[in-house]
Structure 1
C-alpha cells in the first residue's frame, strides 16, 4: 500500500470509529437516564404503597369518591360488607409464591344492592373447580377488609394472552367482560374497582388471601450503574484507541 494513502485511511477509520462510538454512547446515556427516571418513579410508587397500605381502612364511599376525583384508588385499604355469589367466580391466571394457579375473583353483593369483584386469593390449578373446595364457599353476609385495585379497560401489552371467557380464564382484568360472563348482574351493576382481600384465613384454607404484591422489586439503581458504567468504559476504550492512533501518526 502507498505510504501516502495510510494517513488518509487512518483518518477515515477514525471518523467511522468515532461516529459509531458517538452513536453507541448516546444510546447508553439514554438508557442510563431512562433508568434514573424509572428509579425516581419506583421510589415514589413504593412510598405511596407504604403510605396507603399502612393507613386506616376507608369506607366504600370514600374510595369511590377518590376514584371519581383522582382516578387513583390503588392500595387504599377498604372495608365492605355483603354476600358472595360464588356461582359467578372469575378465574385470573396467576403465579404466586412460585406456584401457578388462579386468583379467584368473586362477585360480592353489597348492602346497597350493587356488586364488586373481590379477589379472594390464590388456588392451585387442580382446585380451580369450586366443587373441590366447598368449605371455602362462605355463605351469608361477610365483612371484607382488603386493598382497592384499579380496573383496566384494555390489554396492558401485546405479550399478554387474550382472555378466554368461555373457559373462565382471564389473563388481564377486563372488568366488564368478567362481569358480563359471571351470570351475576350486569356490568353497570359493578363498582368501578376491585378489592384484593386481606390474608384472613378462609374455611378449608382456600382461597389463600393476601396476595397483593406490595414489596415490588427495585433494581433500577443497578441498571443505572450498568448503563452509565458501560458509557464510561466506552469513552475510556475510544480514548486509548485515539491516543495510540496519534502515536502511530
Structure 2
C-alpha cells in the first residue's frame, strides 16, 4: 500500500468515530424533539376538549349540586365547571381565606362552608377580597337560608411548581384543598368539591364572585410545530454532515 493510500485509510478510520458520535447526538436530538412535539399534540387535544367542555357547561342551565351518592364518581371530565345551584345556610364561623395574587395586589379567596338541608356540607368560594378585607370582621356575612349558583370546581389537592404548602395550624392557606380544610375544621359529610359563586347584583361588593377563569390560552399547536421543526433541522444537519464526510472520504 502506498503512503498516500495508507494516509487516506487512516483518515477514514479516524472519521468513523466522529460520524458515530454525531449520529448518536443527532438521534438523541431527534427522539427528544419528536417526543416533545407528540406531547404538545396530546396537550392540544386535551386543551381543545377542556375548552369545549367548559364552554358547554358554564352556559348551561344550573342543576342541583351533586349529593353524597354522586361524590365517588365526580371527575374533571364528568363534573368540573358544571353550572350548579345550592341551598343551605353558611357556617360563617368556619370561613377560611386562601391567598392568591390578583390584578389589584395580594388578595384572598373567601371559602365558607354551606350546610344543606340534608346535613351535608359544601364549601363555597364566595369570591375575592383585598388584603385589607381579609378579616371577616371587616365585612358582612350572609345570614339565614341562602340560594346561590356557581361553577363546580375540584379540590386543589396538589400545588403548582414553587407554590407554598398549606399551614392549617397557623391558618395559612395557599390552595383550595378541600380535604385538608374540612379535616382542619372537623367538618363531616363534606363534599369533595367546592363551588365558585357567581358575581352578585352589586359588582363592587366584597367578596367579589364570578372570578372563575374560563378562558384558556391554547398555543400547543405552535409549540408542536416548533419542536417538529427542530427535529427536522436535526435530520437536515445530520444529513449534511454525513454527506460532507462521505464526499470527503471519496
TM value normalised by structure 2: 0.86
Structure-2 residue corresponding to 1:5: 10
1:30 aligns with: 35
Change (3 A) 1:189 1:66: closer
**SS state of the match for residue 14, structure 2?**
helix
Which one is further off, 107-116 or 26-35? Answer: 107-116
1:177 has 2:175 as partner: no
Q: Deviations over 1:152-173 (max 9, x none)?
A: 5x43557432211133222233
1:91 paired residue number: 97
Q: Which of 142, 145, 162 is matched with 2:146 structurally?
A: 142
CA distance in 2, matches of 1:170, 1:55: 32
| Residue number in structure 2 paired with 1:123 | 129
CA distance in 2, matches of 1:204, 1:113: 33
CA-to-partner distance for each residue in 1:48-92, whole Å, 9 max, x for gaps?
11111111100135x655544454321111111222222211122
Change (3 A) 1:40 1:170: same
Is the alpha carbon distance of 1:198 and 1:106 closer, same or farther for their aligned partners in structure 2, counting shifts above 3 Å? Answer: same
1:59 corresponding residue in structure 2:
64
Local SS of the residue matching 1:214: coil
Report what 2:118 is aligned to: 112
Contact 1:147 1:196 in 2 (8 A): yes
Corresponding residue to 1:44 among 37, 49, 60: 49
How far apart, CA to CA, are the structure 2 residues paired with 1:49 and 1:65? 24
> Greater CA radius of gyration, 1 or 2?
2
Structure 1, gaps ≥5 residues long = none
Among 165, 169, 172, the alignment partner of 1:166 is 169
Confirm or deny: 8 A CA contact 1:176 1:187 kept in the other structure: no
- Once the two structures are overlaid, the 10-residue window that deviates more, 37-46 or 164-173, is 164-173
The RMSD of aligned alpha carbons is: 2.4
SS at match of 1:100: strand
Structure 2 counterpart of 1:155, from 155, 158, 167? 158
| Post-superposition CA distance 1:194-229 (Å, at most 9, x none) | 111012246962111112111122121111011101
Q: Taking structure 1 as the reference length, what is the TM-score of the superposition?
A: 0.87
The separation in 2 between residues aligned to 1:127 and 1:48, in whole angstroms, is: 35
Please identify, of 165-174 and 20-29, the stretch whose mean Cα deviation from structure 2 is larger.
165-174
Instruction: Describe the SS at the equivalent of 2:150.
Output: strand
Mark the CA change 1:227 to 1:38 in structure 2 (over 3 Å): closer, same or farther: same
Aligned residues: 242
Are the aligned partners of 2:155 and 2:179 in contact in 1 as well (CA < 8 Å)?
Answer: no
- Post-superposition Cα deviations, 1:125-176, rounded to whole Å, max 9, x if no partner, equal 23211122x23x2222222110111235x43557432211133222233323
Q: Structure 1: how far apart are the matches of 2:86 and 2:56? A: 21
